């Protein structure tokens, strides 16, 4: 079982971002315009951009924070502080306990488990990871990012498994399709209840 982290093992990304936007009174329309353009560029395969660089480790987190802060303004037109921007953006993330419980149950039943995350310079809960994962693959640490097939192959090699023997869980449909193209069984995560039900249907959970 290979799973994404942000948005799967954490509370939804949009909820965390909304908390941050409100707390810092950031111009929401401006933020959405910038991120919509950057995310599209990061996934359309045409060159690189700040998100691409942040995720594969070629752009240091501090540089990304400065680039993003320079594009943002507060509701009254003021500047947004760059230092610590990533930590503030994701500060409202909380672990989704049912998903961690499912990982523990699957592992106890004999499944091998891995987390495969496109990092945004996040402070990962390594203590929780140690309890539930046989392998940890963080994009910025391996120089690859989803949906590049090489990062999926890297995770499979660490687990010692073939693609056909694995399920991949992610809240981004594009990444799920990339995994399915390699032969993994994909689950597009929209919430813990539906994902856990699908894992049970696949026989990965009791």
- We report the CATH number of the domain holding residue 144 as 3.40.50.1000
The answer to whether position 102 is within a domain reads yes
pLDDT of residue 47: 57
Query: Hunting for tokens 């989704």 — which residue is that?
Result: 96
Q: Give the rounded distance of the alpha carbon of 190 from its chain centre.
A: 13
The answer to whether position 206 is within a domain reads no
Give yes or no: residues 75 and 143 share one domain. Answer: no
Give yes or no: residues 31 and 110 share one domain. Answer: no
% of the chain with per-residue pLDDT over 90: 93
pLDDT of residue 39: 86
Task: Report yes or no: 65 and 82 within 8 Å, Cβ to Cβ.
Answer: yes
The whole model's pTM is what? 0.93
Residue that is last in its domain, among 69, 89, 109: 89
Q: Which H/E stretch holds residue 158? A: helix 149-159
pLDDT of residue 46 exceeding 60, the answer is: no
The answer to whether position 76 is within a domain reads yes
Report the C-alpha gap between 69 and 81 in whole angstroms.
6
Give yes or no: residues 25 and 48 share one domain. Answer: yes
Give yes or no: residues 24 and 67 share one domain. Answer: yes
Give yes or no: residues 108 and 7 share one domain. Answer: yes
**Averaged pLDDT, 178-205:** 97
Residue that is last in its domain, among 89, 117, 151: 89
Report the C-alpha gap between 88 and 19 in whole angstroms.
10
pLDDT of residue 42: 77
pLDDT of residue 78 exceeding 70, the answer is: yes
Q: How many domains does the chain have?
A: 2
The greatest distance separating any two alpha carbons of the chain, rounded to the nearest whole angstrom, comes to 55
Give yes or no: residues 82 and 113 share one domain. Answer: no
**Averaged pLDDT, 111-140:** 96
Report the C-alpha gap between 98 and 84 in whole angstroms.
30
Give yes or no: residues 28 and 70 share one domain. Answer: yes
pLDDT of residue 113 exceeding 60, the answer is: yes
Give yes or no: residues 115 and 181 share one domain. Answer: yes
- List Cα–Cα distances, 98 to 94, 196, 197, in angstroms: 12, 8, 12
Alpha helices per DSSP H over the chain: 13-23, 28-43, 50-56, 61-71, 85-89, 97-108, 126-132, 139-142, 149-159, 173-181, 192-201
Ranges 34-38, 80-84, 142-146, 174-178: which has the least confidence: 34-38
Residue that is last in its domain, among 89, 111, 130: 89
Report the C-alpha gap between 120 and 146 in whole angstroms.
13
Q: Which domain holds residue 193?
A: 2-11+94-201
């Amino acid at each position: 079982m290979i799973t994404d982290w942000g948005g799967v093992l954490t509370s939804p990304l949009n909820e965390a971002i909304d908390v941050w936007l409100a707390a810092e009174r950031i111009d929401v329309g401006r933020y959405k315009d910038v991120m919509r353009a950057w995310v599209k560029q990061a996934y359309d395969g045409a060159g690189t951009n700040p998100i691409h660089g942040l995720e594969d480790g070629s752009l240091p987190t501090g540089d990304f924070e400065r680039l993003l802060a320079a594009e943002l303004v507060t509701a009254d037109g003021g500047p947004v502080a760059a230092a610590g921007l990533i930590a503030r953006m994701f500060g409202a993330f909380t672990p989704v306990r049912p998903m961690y419980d499912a990982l523990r149950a699957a592992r106890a039943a004999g499944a091998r488990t891995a987390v495969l995350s496109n990092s945004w310079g996040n402070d990962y809960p390594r203590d929780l990871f140690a309890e539930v994962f046989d392998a940890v693959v963080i994009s910025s640490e391996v120089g690859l990012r989803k949906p590049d097939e090489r990062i999926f192959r890297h995770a499979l090699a660490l687990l010692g498994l073939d693609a056909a023997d694995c399920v991949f869980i992610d809240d981004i449909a594009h990444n799920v399709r990339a995994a399915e193209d390699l032969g993994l069984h994909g689950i597009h995560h929209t919430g813990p209840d539906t994902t856990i039900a699908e894992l049970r249907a696949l026989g990965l959970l009791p």
